[in-house]
């Protein structure tokens, strides 16, 4: 939490504890005994606390403004990563595929999710909250976008190893 | 212009993407046994391997896994 007062922390802790207790009681029948009960229960408290902390840290950020212009988020110069002319040319070619997929094959939501989470490092929870969605749905959105990028790159002759070799080791 | 480190992060994630990946809910369900196995030294247990890929690609789940692990590690009885 940015600059919390003692009472803010106490209130947040109390809210999280109550929410965690409700979640534990609600999901009690799901405990299968494949861990200690306390470990199983603690994860609810940790989840609540971290979600609340992220909310506090990002509450003054306008995600609407941040998500705008998602399509223009990906300007990149292949020369920026150095290397010989042949490597730079191949990198530019691969990046052209990436840009093409982002611009023409991903949905607007996928473009926004990539920009928010990958470029702006918005916590996934915050995007979930902003969209009134679920973690699973947003994770799937991103997974499908990554999969599309991977398969299109492979179709154009760029294996995962090629891609890591061309773009890895950025400073 | 995008920071080259962002590009590296994106393309590393893309390169490691698998056709089927577990969801955040499935990850949450596996957290407790996985953390206990991790703390017990069973780092190659199947459940941990299954989780590892998701945790590499989901920062919020990874943060919760590490927080639970660090919390249990600090418990006197752990």
Among A83, A119, A116, A50, smallest CA distance to B28 is for: A50
User: Is B48's Cβ below 8 Å from some Cβ in A?
Assistant: no
CB atoms under 10 Å from CB of A142, counted, come to 23
pLDDT at res. A171: 39
Q: How far apart are CA A31 and CA A44, in angstroms?
A: 12
Among A93, A96, A94, A91, smallest CA distance to A80 is for: A91
pLDDT at res. A170: 45
Partner residue opposite A47 with nearest CB, options B7, B11, B64: B64
> pTM of this prediction?
0.88
Q: Which residues of chain A are modeled with pLDDT < 70?
A: 1-4, 69-73, 169-171
User: Do A98 and B12 lie within an 8 Å CB cutoff?
Assistant: no
Mean pLDDT (whole number) for B58-71: 96
CB atoms under 10 Å from CB of A14, counted, come to 10
| Residue A98: half-sphere exposure toward Cβ, Cα within 13 Å | 27
CB of A66 within 8 A of CB of A122? yes
pLDDT at res. A101: 95
Question: ipTM surpassing 0.85, yes or no?
Answer: yes
Partner residue opposite B5 with nearest CB, options A35, A164, A170: A170
CB of B68 within 8 A of CB of B37? no
Among A124, A121, A146, smallest CA distance to A136 is for: A124
Mean pLDDT (whole number) for B8-12: 90
The band of B78, judged by pLDDT with boundaries at 50, 70 and 90, is very low
For chain B, the structural domain boundaries read: 21-74
User: Do A46 and B71 lie within an 8 Å CB cutoff?
Assistant: yes
| Two structure tokens written together for A77 | 């110069």
What are the tens digits of pLDDT across the range B14-49? Answer: 999 999 999 999 999 999 999 999 999 887 788 888
Q: Assign B56 to helix, strand or coil.
A: helix
């Amino acid at each position: 939490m940015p600059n919390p007062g003692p009472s803010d922390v106490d209130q947040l802790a109390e809210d999280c504890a109550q929410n965690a207790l409700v979640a534990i009681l609600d999901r009690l029948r799901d405990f299968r005994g494949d861990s200690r009960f306390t470990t199983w229960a603690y994860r609810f408290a940790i989840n609540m606390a971290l979600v609340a902390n992220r909310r506090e840290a990002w509450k003054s950020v306008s995600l609407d403004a941040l998500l705008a212009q998602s399509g223009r988020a990906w300007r990149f110069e292949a020369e920026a990563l150095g290397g010989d002319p042949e490597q730079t040319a191949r990198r530019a070619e691969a990046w052209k595929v990436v840009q093409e997929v982002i611009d023409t094959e991903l949905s607007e939501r996928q473009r926004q999710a990539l920009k928010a989470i990958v470029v702006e490092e918005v916590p996934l929870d915050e995007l979930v909250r902003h969209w009134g969605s679920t973690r699973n749905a947003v994770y799937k959105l991103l997974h499908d976008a990554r999969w599309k990028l991977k398969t299109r790159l492979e179709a154009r002759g760029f294996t995962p190893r090629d891609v890591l070799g061309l773009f890895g080791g950025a400073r | 212009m995008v920071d080259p480190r962002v590009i590296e992060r994106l393309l590393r994630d893309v390169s490691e993407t698998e056709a089927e990946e577990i969801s955040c809910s499935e990850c949450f369900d596996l957290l407790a046994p996985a953390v206990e196995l991790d703390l017990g030294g069973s780092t190659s247990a199947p459940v941990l391997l299954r989780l590892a890929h998701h945790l590499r690609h989901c920062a919020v789940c990874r943060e919760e896994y590490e927080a639970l692990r660090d919390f249990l590690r600090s418990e006197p009885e752990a």
